[in-house]
Structure 1
Amino acid sequence: MADFKVVLSDPKNGMAYNIEATGGMAGSLMGKSVGDVIKGDLLGFEGYSIEITGATDRTGIPARKDLPGAGKRRLLLSESTGFHPTYDGQRMRKTIRASEITGDFVQINAKVVEYGAKALKSYFEPEEQPAEAAE
């Protein structure tokens, strides 16, 4: 089973949170595509809706939303995901991944679209332990 690092962005406060997706959590992301909106329950966030905004594989090759299917393709690109030209009119052939999430991906980028009842920050803060009485 694949393991993913999910970077979840919170547009309200500009924070980004790292989540290790393993086992069933990672399995629930397999087959989804960049641009899909998923339920936050899949990642452990009750009542949230999360949009997958991008992904990269272990060599750093990004996924593009407009390429259907899975796998890699070599495309002639002008300015877009995967290529930023240094001068006007520059184009270059680059390797790009398709939008479907497979086991080859390492990092998945996502953002919150709808918020749940519990604050997102509270999922990531360590819970305070009650102080034990000194004897």
Structure 2
Amino acid sequence: MPTTTTQGVTVSVTTNYLPDYSSPAQEHFVFAYKIDIRNDSPHTVKLLRRHWYIHDAGGEVREVEGEGVVGRQPVLEPGESHHYVSGCNLKSGMGKMHGTYLMERLGNGQHFQVDIPEFTLMVPYRLN
């Protein structure tokens, strides 16, 4: 499970290929990813924005950014976690994602970026 910690905030990722929502004949491969964000810092933090880079093995790179995650801007007290599930589609069945979250320390209003570790998206039969 890819995991990284930035300024006391740990981000871990797990992924799943979703064959029921995919159509390989039409070059449409759908993946879900679960993100776990844990605040191990001494500060209360709020997730303000996300910024993703999605790389398809065919060479396409997409950039996605916006407020919060799945419609929320979670606030995490020290020791708390937030989990969410989202997804993306690829044309080739293989790719990777990585990015950052923009966070705010609520005590002093300081903004900082938290790295989202790079993770692979791969159709299981391509692993053989």
- TM (norm. structure 1) is 0.30
The structure with the larger Rg is 1
- TM (norm. structure 2) is 0.31
